[in-house]
Amino acid sequence: MSNSTAAKRYAIALFELAQQKNELQSVENDLRELKVVWNGNKDLKTLFTSPKLSLDKKKELIREIFSNANPIVINTLLVLIDKKRLGEVSNIISEFMALSNEAQGIAEAKVYTTRELTEEERASVSSVFAKNVGKQSLRIQNIVDPSIIGGIRVQIGNRIYDSTLSTKLDRLKRNLIG
């Protein structure tokens, strides 16, 4: 989450506009892609935050690069260019996602397993653990980690549910030594 007041304000405005236009899911999907592109490409971020590139050229590039994106997302980026707040894009997206998740009763979760989860397993994990945090469902990011040997570790915010074999073996080792 961001500490930026400006990012929160932009995110709230963007969220409310997307809701009014009934395009929340479309905007959210485009923002997820934008975040991947923005955070994954240091050169792109440097280019758009550079004072050497004119505002008009930045706007032109935004329209070209994100031509298939929802117009709400494009217009938000254009406003951010005008207000010289493009450096806040990641924070705005994070704030928007938090608002969207809250409105939909969704929590973000990282699930560590030894192999990729099937859709049925994802649904099962979502229904069981969502209740624990008072949400309707989880948006699961599955992380394959062979070092856990077996079992599952679920991280939802600052809560961790760990029933991995590696953790159980560590506890057993500590009990035997101690």
pLDDT in tens, 128-171: 999 999 999 999 999 999 999 999 999 999 999 999 999 999 99
For the chain, give the percent of residues with pLDDT over 90.
85
Q: What structural domains does the chain harbor?
A: 5-101 (1.10.520.20), 105-177 (no CATH)
Looking at the DSSP bridge assignments, the partners of residue 154 are: 111, 161
Q: What is the pTM of this model?
A: 0.80
pLDDT in tens, 83-99: 999 889 999 999 999 99
pLDDT at 5 exceeding the cut of 50: yes
In the sheet that 106-113 helps form, which strands lie side by side, from edge to edge? 137-144, 106-113, 153-156, 159-162
Mean pLDDT of 76-80: 96
Q: Residue 3: which pLDDT band, with cuts at 50, 70 and 90?
A: low
pLDDT at 1 exceeding the cut of 80: no
3 state SS of 151: coil
Q: State how far the Cα of 12 lies from the Cα of 23, in Å rounded to an integer.
A: 15
Cα-Cα-Cα-Cα dihedral of 122, 92, 38, 48, to 10°? 170
